[in-house]
Amino acid sequence: MTDTTTTPTFLPDKKSEKRFYNSLFWRSQWLMFCTSYTKQQAVTFSWVMLPYLEKIYGKDTDEFYAAMLRHQDFFNTNVAVAPFVFGVVTSMEKENKENGVEAKSINALKSSLMGPLAGIGDSLLANGVRLIATGIAIGFFQQGSWLGPILFMLLLNIPNWGIKWLSGKYGYKLGNTFITDAMKSGTLNLITKAASIVGLMMVGAMSAQYVTFKTVLKIKSASQVVDIQKIFDMILPGLLPLLLVLGCFFYLRKKNKPVRVLLAVVVLAFVLTFLGITGAAK
């Protein structure tokens, strides 16, 4: 179903722009409301974007549904800095409607931003501001003072909320000017390619850090005991996790369901452990 009516200009004045920043701030509070192992924050990402995509493309249009489906891809970043990504993506969607931007450019830039921003947000807020707030408030907690919880909430949430509001505003402003200039100069394709490379690097880094797959199998030969895992490590450290990730990747590339991969990995883990190939070292 395609709506033939003309879509109004997105954020035509300062008043509507301010409403957009406020709306983005409050809607982004729900980013962690619905997460999954396969998509993380993707469902709520598209939900946050819903009213802005409707205004850009028009309600119940093919373009609107295509954009909503596009933002169902995997997404995961720090909640406080996530509005920056929302702002940049909204500006790119607006440019896509007005001047035409490749859909893969939007997803590539979004994927490349989530990793670095997650690192910045976690280091600055989760591991920085939170520890400072705890250190200041803990003395009041020990004394049984009601100032303890109040100080902790204020010291933790004021920086979080301030960064959340400002990141959405400057994400849209930066994207609104930068993407337009990049399209005119022809550098958007270079940015897309670079963003794709960074995204793949982040996937590789996350795989190396979080995927654990080792064998405890040892083969006795005469008077010697051959440790199979040590042989794999001599060939290539992390060889088994790499093969597991590549196997899942090629399976998903054939448009298979992620749930099947999860079930297959669980079944494989049980079978290999039962056979004594993986599991706790004896």
d(CA 115, CA 104): 18
Give the C-alpha separation, 60 to 2, whole Å.
7
173, part of any domain = yes
Mean pLDDT per segment of 10 residues, for the chain of length 282 residues? 51 84 89 82 90 89 90 86 89 82 78 76 75 80 82 86 86 71 61 64 72 84 79 84 87 81 88 83 58
Number of domains in the chain: 2
Same-domain check for residues 191 and 233: no
Residue labelled with tokens 């598209």: 46
CB under 8 Å to 134, separation ≥6 — which residues? Answer: 152
Compute the distance between CA of residue 130 and CA of residue 148 in angstroms, rounded to an integer.
14
- The reported pLDDT for the residue numbered 183 is 56
Residue count of the chain, please give it: 282
Same domain, 172 and 36: yes
Please give the Cα distance from 26 to 47 (Å, whole number): 12
| pLDDT given at position 251 | 86
| Same domain? 119 vs 253 | no
In a domain, residue 213? The reply is no
Task: Classify residue 3: in a domain, yes or no.
Answer: no
On whether both 95 and 180 belong to a single domain, the answer is yes
pLDDT value at residue 176: 62
In a domain, 98, yes or no: yes
- The verdict on 80 and 127 lying in the same domain is yes
Write down which residue in 186, 203, 220 finishes a domain. 203
Q: Residue 181, Cα to own-chain centre: how many angstroms?
A: 26
Pair (56, 191) in one structural domain: yes
What does the pLDDT read at residue 199? 61
Q: Are 75 and 40 in contact (CB under 8 A)?
A: yes
Which pLDDT value is given to residue 50?
92
Asked whether residue 174 falls in the same domain as residue 54, the answer is yes
Q: Which positions ≥6 away from 111 have C-beta within 8 Å?
A: 73, 74, 75, 195, 196, 199, 202
What's the domain range around 266? 228-274
Give the position of tokens 């949430």. Answer: 157
Kindly state whether residues 176 and 253 are assigned to the same domain.
no
Q: What percent of the chain has pLDDT over 90?
A: 5
Whether residues 252 and 120 share a domain: the answer is: no
- Do 192 and 122 fall into the same domain? yes
| 189 in any annotated domain | yes
Q: Does some domain include residue 1?
A: no
Same domain, yes or no, for 174 and 243? no
Residue-level pLDDT at 47? 92
Q: What is the pLDDT of residues 134-187, one digit of tens each?
A: 878 887 877 888 888 888 888 888 888 888 888 888 888 877 666 556 656 666
Helix H or strand E segment including 278: none
Please give the distance of CA 50 from its chain centroid, rounded to a whole number: 18
Q: What confidence score (pLDDT) does residue 49 get? A: 92
CA gap 23, 235 in Å, rounded: 53
Residues 195 and 234 grouped into a single domain: no
DSSP character at residue 8: P
Cα–Cα distance measured from residue 145 to residue 206, given in angstroms and rounded to the nearest whole number: 42
215 belongs to a structural domain: no
The token pair at 156 is 């933790």
Instruction: Assess if residue 282 is contained within a domain.
Output: no
Distance from the Cα of residue 178 to its chain's centroid: 22
Please identify, among 203, 220, 245, the residue that sits at the C-terminal boundary of a domain: 203
Which domain-ending residue is among 203, 220, 243? 203
**pLDDT for the residue 4:** 44
Report CA 161 to chain centroid distance, whole Å.
19
